[in-house]
């Protein structure tokens, strides 16, 4: 049973617009959440993270929002750029030395 779900396999947005990537989780013990980005033929690279004590974390064009009551987090990219086209993985962990549990990923395409 998947504990981290990225239900939409793909998303297409126009350059300059906002991209919103969603992630849901089922394990209430998860307390740390991350987003990774992956280009073809490359390994995933860390993008942004958020601890469960926060509900928002911002880094440049990237903002992650966490709604603990809904067990939902989202990644906002504003403005979207063609170079953002990649697969985005949501991941979560429970505890300081816990392994990461990943979602299946969402393929984002940003149209010029």
Partner 1 sequence: ETGVTQTPRHLVMGMTNKKSLKCEQHLGHNAMYWYKQSAKKPLELMFVYSLEERVENNSVPSRFSPECPNSSHLFLHLHTLQPEDSALYLCASSQDTLTTDTQYFGPGTRLTVL
Q: Measured between alpha carbons, how far is 70 from 72 in angstroms, rounded to an integer?
A: 5
Q: Which of 13, 50, 66, 103 binds partner 1 (CB under 8 A)?
A: 103
Residues 40-99 that bind partner 1 (CB under 8 A): 41-46, 49, 89, 93, 95-99
State yes or no: residue 101 binds partner 1 (CB under 8 A): yes
Angle CA 28–70–38, to nearest 5: 80
Residue 42 CB burial class (10 angstroms; 0-12, 13-18, ≥19): exposed
Report, in Å, the least distance between residue 67 CB and partner 1.
Answer: 20
State yes or no: residue 2 binds partner 1 (CB under 8 A): yes
Name the strand (E) or helix (H) holding 40: none
Name the strand (E) or helix (H) holding 55: none
Task: Give the interface size with partner 1 as a residue count (CB under 8 A).
Answer: 24
Give the interface with partner 1 as residue ranges (CB under 8 A): 2, 4, 32, 36, 41-46, 49, 89, 93, 95-105
């Amino acid at each position: 049973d998947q504990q981290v779900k990225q239900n939409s396999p793909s998303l297409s947005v126009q350059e300059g617009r906002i991209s919103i990537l969603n992630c849901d989780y089922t394990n209430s013990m998860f307390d740390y959440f991350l987003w990774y980005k992956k280009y073809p033929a490359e390994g995933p690279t860390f993008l942004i993270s958020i601890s469960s004590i926060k509900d928002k974390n911002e880094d440049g064009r990237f903002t992650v929002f966490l709604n603990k009551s809904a067990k939902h987090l989202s990644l906002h990219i504003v403005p979207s750029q063609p170079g953002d086209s990649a697969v985005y993985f949501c991941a979560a962990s429970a505890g300081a030395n816990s392994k990461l549990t990943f979602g299946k990923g969402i393929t984002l395409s940003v149209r010029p």
